[in-house]
Structure 1
């Protein structure tokens, strides 16, 4: 018995990014750790999220690469795409990664239980696969989030969610994507790049609510130029089966037919049926577990990390929170995660990278805001002939010269924002950017050569 009174020191529900990191670090401090996972080890990111999504993004961009090659002297034969090959190769890769995650847990001394686990009190969980009751000094909830089908659409069960779209038997000829967030935007870009006739429908006036307007509007224009149909300020009234098609009746009264419909209207914390009420764990109106700055719930022995809380639904946040939890509780090293600056990317085509507030939000925070912005064609486009825009924006607090936000649209924006994020997190000023020597010729050099503010 660990600690004399409990079966384990730490019981983790959910073997996704946050739970795995917490388990490995806690075990490294000598804790006896058990982790339960009802699906596949690796969680949303590895199995049905960012990893397969990025693989599909790569696949979707080859069509552009083949077309662009001609401007550089390459004669590329007519290319064709085989969806089953991509699906099979994706499955091979995520199976390989799941094996690595499992081995890393086992090598760290963590016991893996392939079962759904539900909470039965402040120090107890039940394994549904066996009925066994496990007691634990500390319980960590790391169950992540699941796709939401809200708002409810009559006939909505005919649509797919993001978990399912990776493995449809056939590549659809016509796809309707419902939603305006980054998941909807990314999948619209993926399938359009694979040659699918793609319609992106969003009830709001613009894509990517909360993102900088130059990113949102710039991407919308680029998507239209790429042949993606955007239906903004439009809703789906109902979905109906029409032979082999799905008929979508829209809020304007028109009816459109599609082979598949992807509902990407958001995600909800995965807390249903978890037994939180048995221990009195508090949740908010979204069903997210409420935690303090150290991840502790209102029940002192129960913590939560990652998407199951109401923090940013991003894998690096879950990992950082899992590490901080283990350092605090088992390493005697109190650690808190700073959520104020989060660099992130949207893997659309063109790609987006962002850190800090949007220009709109920054104006409310910094009365002396100074905006630097540039738009141009990337160097590769001069020979390829592709008219794909690049936009870079730097937001500066004029009172302190501190760079408070950077927003990028264009090739490799995700890679750029990761590196820029270091400087912004360290508190770099515009003068620091200005005195940095440019790397030429690159797109990123624009970030250190902008001299004239636009606002």
Structure 2
């Protein structure tokens, strides 16, 4: 996590090769790592990336790219099944919602998921090769602030000297002793893509972003889904009204939500799984997805030996330009715990390398980060939240416009969702916003631009939007913002 009060000494004089070229070693090939490597290469540095799991890291191989590919299939199926009100019928004259003629071949879906992930990894590998980056297959470990050992199968296979070291080792799914993962019936989200048949009944333990996304996707694919949530509402910490919209959508689509419940244990019984809740209730299912968070991959990196500060959680402490407390060593991505987003990891990596190699940089501002939950409907947000305004942390005023009044939404049969805009009461500057809608992840960009560049609601309203379009509601809510009292 970022520590704004972290006191850091000036960077040391860089040790360079015989031709004066700075040497950069990146441990980890995910978004934070490969983006840092590309920036360093453009600066003319000699760059090495040490990665054991494949270029792209978890984001490309087992997390973001695979999950969003799966969700894209689920989204399409969800649209077809919801097209009855638009006059769509099967050849037998049935409403597609009945699903009589629709069937998901999960083996084919997952084969495509894995192929796309591998293709994306290959694309990034080519970009690194074209930039002259050296990639080493192995696990990196610091022996001092300027030396990285490369381990293969636990044995030291070589070492690299560095002027600058970037730690970008990511995170792995958290596992619970009471719910042993076997990769067959009890799974983490990295293991779902090996399934060749749709689960008959999937229990998702955890109602955060990951749990909600997979619950939404697998229900659309046709599985019976039960979501075990320890809170009153899904997506704890998210915009409350947005979470309420999603919860109603889940219930309408047939997702069973066990609110205020915790899984005490998960027991594999042959081809079935028994989920025992702490209140004594039990759920029998064919599969269980454990979506209970992630832990940083920072063990055995040599951090303690080198003196790099970490939190009790294991996350590396960094400032807003991704420096650790050890001169010349930077960190980016999920191993820092700033925000578990590939976009943030990539930005951290870019900022770090520009800074390390002498460029003036703008530090990472979490308020400017746009993020999305890829459920049906999607939830996207940026900047100040309404909850922060309500408790007095930020001075702001709000306007909320339901999508049910949007003409394009009516044409597409969208009857749930909204656009929320938060503005400064003194200046009218856009402070934040939330969009709940299909493709909200695409619609949030104008609000992100407004927050980043401190545009006013009038600026946002003055830009043309296409008629009819769902994005028209963004301009409409901005036009109404000055009327807030």
State the TM-score, normalizing by the size of structure 1.
0.93
- Is 1:444 matched up with 2:471? yes
SS at match of 2:372: strand
What residue in structure 2 maps to residue 174 of structure 1?
Answer: 201
Q: Equivalent residue for 1:298? A: 325
Q: Deviations over 1:344-403 (max 9, x none)?
A: 11100011111123211123456653221122436577577x674121211122122222
Q: How does 1:255-404 map to 2 (within 5 A)?
A: 255-365=282-392, 369-377=396-404, 379=407, 382=410, 388-404=415-431
Q: Report whether the alignment pairs 1:249 with 2:288.
A: no
Please give the alpha-carbon distance, in whole angstroms, between the structure 2 residues aligned to 1:61 and 1:340.
Answer: 29
> Are 2:77 and 1:52 equivalent residues in the alignment?
no
In structure 2, which of residues 164, 169, 181 is the aligned counterpart of residue 143 of structure 1? 169
Displacement of 1:316 in angstroms is 1.0
> Given the alignment, which residue of 120, 128, 141 partners 1:105?
128
Q: Deviations over 1:394-442 (max 9, x none)?
A: 1122122222111111112111102321122211222333444453222
Segment of structure 1 superposing worse, 137-146 or 391-400: 391-400
Say if 1:60 and 1:191, in contact at 8 Å, map to a contact too. yes
Residues 156, 238 of structure 1: 8 Å contact kept: no
Q: Are 2:241 and 1:214 equivalent residues in the alignment?
A: yes
Look up the SS of the partner of 1:177 in the other structure. strand
Alignment match of 2:39 (pick from 12, 16, 25): 25
Equivalent pair of 1:156/1:239 in contact (CA under 8 Å): no
CA distance in 2: counterparts of 1:277 and 1:101, whole angstroms: 32
Contact 1:46 1:97 in 2 (8 A): yes
SS at match of 1:162: coil
The corresponding residue for 1:42 is 56
Query: 1:95 Cα shift?
Result: 1.4
Name 1:118's counterpart in structure 2: 141
SS, match of residue 163 in structure 1: coil
C-alpha distance in 2, partners of 1:454/1:57? Answer: 37
2:76 to 62, 66, 76: 62
Structure 1, 87-96 or 430-439: larger mean CA deviation: 430-439
Q: Is the 8 A contact 2:378 2:438 kept in 1?
A: yes
Whether the 8 Å contact between 2:114 and 2:193 is mirrored in structure 1 is: no
SS of 2:191 mapped into structure 1: helix
Note the alpha carbon deviations across 1:122-174, whole angstroms, 9 max, x for none.
11121112521222222110111111125x53546663111112222322110
Distance in 1 (CA, whole Å) between partners of 2:126 and 2:395 is 52
Matches within 5 A, 1:228-243: 228-243=255-270
CA offsets, 1:183-211, max 9 Å, x none? 11111111011001001111122222222
Name which of structure 1's ranges 360-369 and 30-39 shifts more when overlaid on structure 2.
360-369
8 Å CA contact retained: 1:188, 1:198: yes
Once the two structures are TM-superposed, the CA of residue 66 in structure 1 deviates from its matched residue by 2.4
- Report the Cα offset of residue 252 of structure 1: 2.4
Q: Answer whether contact 1:66 1:76 (CA < 8 A) is retained.
A: no
Q: 1:443 to 1:383 in 2, by over 3 A?
A: closer
Extract unaligned runs of 5+ from structure 1.
none
Partners of 1:144 and 1:419 in 2: how far apart?
Answer: 29
- Structure 1 CA distance, aligned partners of 2:179 and 2:108? 34
The equivalent residue for 2:217 is 190
CA RMSD of aligned residues (A): 2.4
Distance 1:122 1:376, change over 3 A: closer
Q: Which moved more, 1:22-31 or 1:327-336?
A: 327-336
- Which secondary structure does the structure 2 equivalent of 1:340 belong to? helix
Aligned position for 1:95:
118
Aligned length: 453
Contact 1:350 1:388 in 2 (8 A): no
Give the 3-state SS of the residue equivalent to 1:33 in structure 2: strand
Distance 1:281 1:140 in 2: 12
Give the Cα–Cα distance (whole angstroms) in 1 for the partners of residues 319 and 144 of structure 2: 20
SS class of match (1:415): helix
Instruction: Structure 2: state its 5+ residue gaps.
Output: 1-14, 92-100
TM-score (norm 2): 0.87
In 2, are the aligned partners of 1:36 and 1:112 still within 8 Å (CA)?
yes
